C-alpha cells in the first residue's frame, strides 16, 4: 500500500466511523448485535463460626449463574449541531439455565450480610445509634453473615434490619440486592463526542448525569471523566497509547495499556488490559492518592473503596480473586486463587477501526469488615475483620463466538 493509498484509507475510516445517523457504526453502537453474557460467581462461606472465633475464612466459589444481557442506547438525540450525541445505556438480563450450574431461585449462598455491615458502619461511634442498632440486630436475628438464594442476593430481598431502619431514614430502602433495580434500568444520561470534529474524540464521554467531572474523590485527576463508556473506541489505534474507560460501577475512570497482538476469527486486534498501577496504593502510585478520602479509605494495592458513591456502605472493588493485589489479601483466605487466564480484564480492539472484537470485564465485590466502636456484640478476633469477599461479577464480552467469564 502506497502512502497515498494509506492516507485515503485512513481518511475514509475517519469519515465513516462517527456517531451520526447513516454512518457505518451508528446502528450497531445503539444496539450491539453480538450476544453479551453476564456470569455471576459467589463465594460461599463454609466456616462462619470458626471465622468469628479467629480462624481464617474458608470460601468455596459457586457459579456461574449466567444471564443474557441485552444492552442498547435509549433516548438517543444529537446535540450541539451534531458534534455530540446524548443517550442512556439501558440494560436488561434474562437467565440462561443451560449455561448455569443451578437454579438461582433454589441455590443458597452464605455470605457477608452487607445491609448489617452498612448499618453498623453508619452508626459506629454514636453514643445512642450504635446500641439501638445492636438491639435491632438482635431482635431481627441479623448477624454478620446471611444465607440467601442467588436470586435474592442478586435481584433483591426485604432485609429485616433495613425494614427497621427505613422508617427513621428516608434514604434507606427496605430491599437490598447486588443488582437491585438494575434490570431494565440505566446509569443516567451520557453525552458523547461523535468524532466528527476529531476522530480521536470518537465515543469519548463529555458529561455524565449533566456533569463533566465527578465529586466523589479528593483530587481533580481522580474526579476526571476520561475516555469512552467502554462501547466505542477511536479508529487508528496506537500501541503506545492508553485507552481510558469511565465506568459508573467503579465511580471512576480506569486506563488500559497495550499487552500484545492477538487474532480473533482471523481479525487482527490489539489487546489492552488494566495494569497493576490502576488500583495500586498511593505509595506505589502517588497519582491514586486522590481516591483516599481518609486514611481508612486508603487501602493497599489491588483494592478501591467505593463507599463515597455507595451511600457510605463499606464496599470495596477489586479484580477477581484479588488478581494484581497485594498478596496479603490472597493469603487472608482459603479458596482464593488469582489466575491471569481467568481473572484478567481485557479489550481486544481492531487497530484500524477501533471496533471491539472480544472483551472480558471482570470485577469482584468485597465488604470491608473491621471492629466497630459502639458495638459490644462485635466480638471478632482483633486481627480481623479485614476483608471478606462477598461476591464477584463481570460485565460483558462483545464477540460473536465467546462469552465473558465473570468473577
Distance CA 360, CA 399 (A): 10
Q: Is the peptide bond before 27 cis (omega within 30 degrees of 0)?
A: no
DSSP 285-298: -GGGGGG-SSGGG-
pLDDT tens string 12-47: 777 789 999 999 899 999 999 888 899 999 999 999
Distance CA 263, CA 12 (A): 24
Boundaries of domain holding 209: 3-394
Mean pLDDT (the chain) is: 88
In a domain, 195, yes or no: yes
Cα–Cα separations (whole angstroms), residue 61 to 46, 64, 256, 259: 10, 9, 28, 29
Contact 89, 190 (CB under 8 A): yes
Number of other residues whose CB lies within 10 A of the CB of residue 298: 16
Residue 63, by phi and psi: left (phi above 0), alpha (psi -120 to 50) or beta? Answer: left
Residue 389: per-residue pLDDT? 45
Where residue 6 falls among pLDDT bands split at 50, 70, 90? Answer: low
In a domain, 401, yes or no: no
Cα–Cα separations (whole angstroms), residue 184 to 72, 138, 334: 10, 36, 36
Residue 294: per-residue pLDDT? 84
Distance CA 391, CA 318 (A): 11
Mean pLDDT score, 279-305? 92
Maximum Cα–Cα distance for the chain, whole Å?
78
Q: Give the chain's radius of gyration (CA, Å).
A: 22
Take residue 262 and report the three cell numbers written for it.
492477538
In a domain, 171, yes or no: yes
In a domain, 74, yes or no: yes
Domain count of the fold of the chain: 1
In a domain, 40, yes or no: yes
Where residue 54 falls among pLDDT bands split at 50, 70, 90? Answer: confident
Amino acid at each position: 500500500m502506497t502512502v497515498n493509498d494509506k492516507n485515503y484509507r485512513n481518511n475514509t475510516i475517519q469519515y465513516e466511523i462517527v456517531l451520526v445517523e447513516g454512518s457505518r457504526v451508528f446502528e450497531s453502537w445503539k444496539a450491539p448485535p453480538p450476544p453479551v453474557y453476564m456470569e455471576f460467581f459467589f463465594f460461599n462461606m463454609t466456616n462462619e463460626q470458626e471465622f468469628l472465633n479467629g480462624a481464617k475464612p474458608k470460601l468455596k466459589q459457586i457459579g456461574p449463574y449466567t444471564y443474557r444481557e441485552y444492552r442498547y442506547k435509549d433516548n438517543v438525540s444529537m446535540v450541539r449541531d451534531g458534534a455530540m450525541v446524548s443517550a442512556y445505556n439501558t440494560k436488561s438480563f434474562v437467565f440462561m439455565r443451560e449455561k448455569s450450574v443451578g437454579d438461582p431461585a433454589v441455590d443458597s449462598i452464605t455470605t457477608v450480610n452487607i445491609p448489617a455491615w452498612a448499618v453498623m458502619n453508619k452508626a459506629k461511634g454514636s453514643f445512642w445509634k450504635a446500641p439501638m442498632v445492636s438491639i435491632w440486630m438482635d431482635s431481627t436475628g441479623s448477624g454478620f453473615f446471611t444465607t440467601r438464594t442467588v436470586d435474592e442476593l442478586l435481584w433483591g430481598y426485604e432485609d429485616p434490619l433495613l425494614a427497621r431502619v427505613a422508617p427513621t431514614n428516608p434514604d434507606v430502602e427496605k430491599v437490598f440486592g447486588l443488582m437491585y433495580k438494575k434490570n431494565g434500568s440505566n446509569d443516567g444520561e451520557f453525552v458523547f463526542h461523535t468524532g466528527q470534529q476529531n476522530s480521536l474524540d470518537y465515543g469519548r464521554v463529555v458529561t455524565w448525569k449533566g456533569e463533566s467531572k465527578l465529586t466523589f474523590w479528593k483530587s481533580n485527576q481522580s474526579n476526571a471523566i476520561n475516555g469512552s463508556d467502554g462501547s466505542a473506541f477511536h479508529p487508528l489505534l496506537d500501541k503506545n497509547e492508553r485507552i481510558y474507560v469511565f465506568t459508573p460501577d467503579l465511580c471512576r475512570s480506569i486506563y488500559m495499556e497495550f499487552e500484545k497482538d492477538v487474532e480473533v476469527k482471523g481479525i487482527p486486534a490489539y489487546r489492552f488490559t488494566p495494569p497493576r498501577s490502576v488500583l495500586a496504593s498511593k505509595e506505589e502510585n502517588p497519582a491514586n492518592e486522590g481516591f483516599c478520602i481518609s486514611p481508612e479509605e486508603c487501602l493497599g494495592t489491588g483494592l478501591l473503596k467505593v463507599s463515597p458513591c455507595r451511600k457510605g456502605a463499606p464496599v470495596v472493588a477489586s479484580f477477581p480473586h484479588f488478581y494484581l493485589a497485594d498478596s496479603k489479601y490472597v493469603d487472608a483466605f482459603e479458596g482464593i486463587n488469582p489466575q491471569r487466564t481467568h481473572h484478567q480484564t481485557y479489550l481486544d480492539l481492531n487497530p484500524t477501526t477501533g471496533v471491539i472484537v472480544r472483551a472480558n470485564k471482570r470485577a469482584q465485590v468485597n465488604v470491608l469488615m473491621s471492629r466497630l466502636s459502639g458495638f459490644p456484640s462485635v466480638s471478632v478476633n482483633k486481627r480481623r475483620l479485614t476483608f471478606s469477599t462477598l461476591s464477584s461479577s463481570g460485565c460483558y464480552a462483545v464477540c460473536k463466538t465467546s462469552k465473558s467469564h465473570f468473577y
